[in-house]
Structure 1
Amino acid sequence: MCAPLTLALTLSLVASGLPATSANAQLADSVSLSAPQEEPEAAREAVPAQLAEQSGDDFYCRERRLGEWFYCEKPKAKPSEQRAQQPTQSSADQLAAISKQLEEMKARAILQPTTENVSAYIAFQREQLNRASSFADMWRRTIWQNPELDYTLQRPVNQLGKRTWLDNRTADKNRVLASISKRYGVFYFYSSACAACEVFGPIMRSVSDRFGLTVMAVSLDGGPSKAFPNFTVDTGQYRAMGMQGQQVPALVLFDTQTKRPMPIGYGVMAADEVMDRIFTLTSVEPGSDF
């Protein structure tokens, strides 16, 4: 395929008036110029390592080394992109870092109370107070707009709401306590040598008379009770009710249906407090009041 081309080139040069020998010389020069120069072995070995990682056509990427402009090399990430690729710090870590920095600036201002240190601490502290204020404001706005998150609808805090809630609560309590004696009874543990029991005995008698609640007085030392002359002596009832030690006075509510004791409390209590605790133990779901 090269012979006809060489022959045609020679004939064209001869036709132009050049001697054949000159034509042949120029032909040789042109051939030598157009022939690809072989790269020395050492130069080929010195190809940068990054070219070995180039992708694409070998001729354009490896031999001609066109680089990233012809998609032979992947473009280098910009500094902003490199920062974006780095893992971000969690919100909890950011908050901990702020608290640590605030404590450090406070300590520096106390140990080195210069104008610069104190001013820097005040400015940083005010920045965090502003952040906390924004959070508190957004908290209340969110509660206003989402009634399922507003606990004050269950337990009001304003005066009018609290009064209404207490009135409803009193009505519910009176209704429950009016029939409490049909299912529950109370064990009243006391000691004849206990001064607090002398005070608490009459209180429990008034509760029993008011609500028709059965109260079983149990003496731990065998001594009598002025408020409950029909007492019984403890023969293991105290421990059977799940009580520990010998603390008196003590009250235990007993469910006659489930046979389950529920300690009410120890020490001297007012009659209303006793009934509030009985109402809570029998009619209020744990956690609903808080």
Structure 2
Amino acid sequence: MWLHVFILLILPISAWAMPDDDFASSIDYPSVWQCDRSKFLWYCEIDPEELQEQQIRLETPQETAIRKLEELQKELKGRRALAIVEPTPENIASYIDLQNQSMQMASVFSDVWRRVIWQTPELNYELKHPVNNAALDIHKKTTRVAQVDTLERIRNDWGIFFFFKSDCPYCHMMAQTLHYIGQAHGITIFPVSLDGSALPQYPNARMDNGLATQIGVTEVPLMVLGNVHDKRIVPLGSGVISSQELIERIHVLTSTRPGESY
């Protein structure tokens, strides 16, 4: 409505006095009702299909790829559903055909992926995390050396607090493991008894003086790495842990960044 009023206001009075044929010849478009987007202040209803084409033209390559993949997945899902609900030879053949096309696309992707890995060393994840037996054996040996080096480096600054109870069978087993680590690698073990009793490996265990409550010990056995100089506390875990796993945890928690060796 306001557009019509605007037109009435801006058209010269002489235009209204013209015969219809003369008025039509004085404008540069055939009809006031015909949409012309090149005109100033012209509003048009956009056809849905044309709008979709415009959106597609504005897509980035990534957006186009996402749209095509979603369309393929939707079509594949639809053909599969139809083949299950109406298992005619035609429907099943249609589903198999599109499924084969999808598998071919996946095969090409997988093949190009491995070619890129072969030819681009910086993208080869297996250089740091090998999977074949020969490289894996070397990786394990190298890691083992690094773990032992970590124990040698930290043993003067860190010790393991071992919280236990004398009636806990798992504590007795863990005491043997910790005793071995202390003897083999020179790291100090601080046994802390929560029930006032000792263990064969640690007859002179210390009685808990509130440290368990401060740390939040609720289960035993519990092992905590502690720095004797700055009082830092690093929980290592609870329950029965093998010597090798405990050494690995010490190395990871004191010498690596998150994600570095995982």
Q: TM-score range by the shorter chain?
A: 0.7 to 0.9
SS at match of 1:86: helix
Q: Which amino acid aligns with 2:97?
A: A
SS at match of 2:252: helix
Mapping of residues 105-254 of structure 1, within 5 Å: 105-241=79-215, 243=216, 246-254=218-226
SS at match of 1:259: coil
Q: Report the aligned-residue RMSD.
A: 2.4
Of structures 1 and 2, the one with the larger relative CO (CA 8 A, separation 6+) is: 2
**TM-aligned CA deviation for residue 179 of structure 1:** 3.5
- Aligned counterpart, 2:248: 276
**TM-aligned CA deviation for residue 257 of structure 1:** 4.1
Choose which of 5, 10, 19 in structure 2 pairs with 1:41. 19
CA distance in 2, matches of 1:238, 1:124: 63
Deviates more, 1:267-276 or 1:87-96: 87-96
CA distance in 1, matches of 2:162, 2:123: 42
Structure 1's unaligned 5+ residue stretches are 1-39, 54-81
SS at match of 2:235: strand
The aligned length equals 221
* Closer, same or farther: CA 52–104 of 1 in aligned 2, 3 Å: closer
Per-residue CA deviation, residues 113-150 of structure 1 (Å, 9 max, x unaligned), is 11111111111111111111111111111122221111
- Aligned counterpart, 2:233: 261
Aligned partners of 2:163 and 2:192 also within 8 Å: yes
Q: Which amino acid aligns with 2:221?
A: P
CA distance in 1, matches of 2:231, 2:72: 56
SS at match of 1:199: helix
State, as a whole percentage, how many aligned pairs show the same letter.
32
- Aligned counterpart, 2:42: none
TM-score by length of 2: 0.76
Matched, 1:50 2:19: no
**TM-aligned CA deviation for residue 218 of structure 1:** 1.1
Structure 2's unaligned 5+ residue stretches are 1-17, 33-49
Q: Which amino acid aligns with 1:41?
A: P
SS at match of 1:148: helix
Mapping of residues 79-98 of structure 1, within 5 Å: 86-88=54-56, 90=63, 91-98=65-72
* Runs of 4+, deviation exceeding 6 Å: none
Per-residue CA deviation, residues 47-89 of structure 1 (Å, 9 max, x unaligned), is 4772589xxxxxxxxxxxxxxxxxxxxxxxxxxxx79962226
Q: Which amino acid aligns with 1:228?
A: Y
Deviates more, 1:181-190 or 1:40-49: 40-49
* Closer, same or farther: CA 210–103 of 1 in aligned 2, 3 Å: same
* Closer, same or farther: CA 123–148 of 1 in aligned 2, 3 Å: same
Aligned partners of 2:24 and 2:30 also within 8 Å: no
CA distance in 2, matches of 1:86, 1:103: 27
Per-residue CA deviation, residues 155-212 of structure 1 (Å, 9 max, x unaligned), is 2222221122222222222222234311110000111221211221111111111111
CA distance in 2, matches of 1:225, 1:144: 56
Per-residue CA deviation, residues 227-263 of structure 1 (Å, 9 max, x unaligned), is 211112223212433x45x111110011234421111
SS at match of 2:55: coil
Q: Which has the larger radius of gyration?
A: 1
Q: Which amino acid aligns with 2:208?
A: D
Deviates more, 1:204-213 or 1:42-51: 42-51
